[in-house]
């Protein structure tokens, strides 16, 4: 007898547009029940995806699929680091930064067939004060926006853009002391700092155009506040993956970062907002997650 592959789908029903009811019959029709043992689970509260993922890892599940956005992927992946299980992604969030970076199909049939292919690689993950992230973390203006976006019932790029436009004019850059790889100190005022494993926040806005998921490094992005008249140019550079050409942006590949803030401000961790303290310790975990890619 052929041993069936165990595949668990963890669906966040409220991420993105929230319209995921049609995916269950598609999953069941895509995967041959003689070859696969399929479980379809739905999250019911915050951190539930992490609990379901931990149970799946403990059950020696071959593939664990996150159906949702970057926050869902973060929860699922957080329990899979340094395990033999492989994570798959069905994009279903708002920005879908990691899925866009990897080129995961947004067509659900194509994404499911990609998971069936089982083509996978190892990628880096990282931690910020021991809390894992896969795609991007940061402090400053983008974390503030993530906080308000999470609290809003509006989704999509237009809602995100409106939020940015409303908060930007009055936002004052904050003071940061940054220690890079234990030996280089930088004191600066910045609009925000990003610690980028993948290249973007989502919506194809590439804050770290040259970031690689398997190079054993994070791209530290130090972004100063441009004047309003420069915003259209900055936005174009983000979308064209050329933000590193801006004089307001300094990108440094690093392995370890310590950031000291004057206050315990909110952090953006794969799109989710959380406070972690005035001192942030960011570390890379090289090649620690198995992930399905095109």
Q: What angle do CA 204, 138, 292 make, to 5 degrees?
A: 50
> Is residue 126 in a domain?
no
Grouping H, G, I as helix, E, B as strand and the rest as coil, residue 98 is helix
Tell me, yes or no, whether 151 and 67 share the same domain: no
Tell me, yes or no, whether 60 and 100 share the same domain: yes
Tell me, yes or no, whether 142 and 269 share the same domain: yes
pLDDT at 19: 61
Average pLDDT over residues 146-171: 78
pLDDT in tens, 10-19: 999 877 655 6
156 has a pLDDT exceeding 70: no
Which of 118, 148, 178 terminates a domain? The answer is 118
Going by pLDDT thresholds of 50, 70 and 90, the confidence category of residue 270 is: very high
Contacts of 31 (CB under 8 A, 6+ apart): 7, 38, 112, 116
The kind and range of the H/E element at 110 are: helix 108-117
Q: What phi-psi label fits residue 92: left (phi over 0), alpha (psi between -120 and 50 degrees) or beta?
A: alpha
Rg of the chain (C-alpha set): 19
Task: Determine the Cα–Cα distance for residues 217 and 173; give it in Å rounded to an integer.
Answer: 26
Tell me, yes or no, whether 147 and 279 share the same domain: yes
pLDDT over 70 percentage in the chain: 96
With beta carbons less than 8 A apart as the criterion, state whether 224 and 173 touch: yes
Going by pLDDT thresholds of 50, 70 and 90, the confidence category of residue 109 is: very high
With beta carbons less than 8 A apart as the criterion, state whether 280 and 139 touch: yes
117 has a pLDDT exceeding 70: yes
- Of 165, 166, 190, the C-alpha closest to 178 is 190
> Is residue 292 in a domain?
no
> Is residue 213 in a domain?
yes
Mean pLDDT (the chain) is 92
> Is residue 15 in a domain?
yes
Give the domain extent around 98.
5-118
149 has a pLDDT exceeding 80: no
155 has a pLDDT exceeding 80: no
Assign residue 155 the CATH number of its domain: 2.60.200.40
DSSP string, 164-205: HHHHTTTPPPEEEEEEETTTEEEEEEESEEEEESSSBSBTT-
As for how many domains the chain has, the answer is 2
Lowest average pLDDT, out of 119-123, 127-131, 134-138, 143-147, goes to 143-147
- Of 55, 73, 78, 59, the C-alpha closest to 15 is 73
């Amino acid at each position: 007898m052929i041993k069936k592959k165990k595949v668990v789908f963890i669906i966040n029903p409220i991420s993105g547009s929230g319209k995921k009811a049609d995916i269950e019959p598609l999953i069941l029709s895509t995967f041959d029940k003689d070859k696969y043992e399929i479980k379809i689970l739905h999250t019911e509260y915050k951190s539930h995806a992490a609990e379901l993922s931990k149970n799946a890892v403990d059950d020696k599940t071959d593939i664990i699929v996150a159906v949702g956005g970057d926050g869902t992927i973060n929860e699922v992946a957080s329990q899979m680091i340094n395990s033999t299980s492989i994570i798959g992604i069905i994009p279903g969030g708002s920005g879908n930064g990691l899925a866009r970076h990897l080129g995961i199909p947004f067509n659900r049939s194509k994404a499911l067939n990609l998971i069936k292919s089982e083509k996978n690689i190892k990628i880096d993950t990282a931690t910020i004060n021991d809390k894992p992230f896969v795609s991007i973390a940061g402090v400053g203006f983008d974390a503030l926006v993530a906080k308000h976006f999470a609290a809003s019932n509006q989704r999509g790029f237009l809602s995100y853009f409106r939020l940015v436009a409303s908060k930007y004019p009055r936002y004052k850059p904050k003071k940061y002391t940054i220690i890079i790889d234990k030996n280089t100190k930088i004191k600066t005022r910045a609009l925000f700092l990003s610690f980028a494993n993948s290249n973007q926040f989502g919506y194809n806005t590439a804050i770290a155009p040259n970031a690689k998921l398997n190079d054993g490094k994070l791209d530290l992005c130090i972004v100063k506040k441009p004047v309003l008249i420069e915003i259209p140019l900055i936005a174009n550079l983000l979308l064209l993956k050329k933000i590193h050409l801006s004089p307001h942006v300094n990108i440094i590949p690093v392995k370890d970062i310590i950031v000291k803030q004057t206050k315990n401000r909110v952090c953006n961790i794969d799109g989710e907002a959380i406070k972690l303290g005035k001192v942030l310790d960011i570390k890379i975990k090289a090649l620690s997650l198995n992930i399905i890619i095109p």
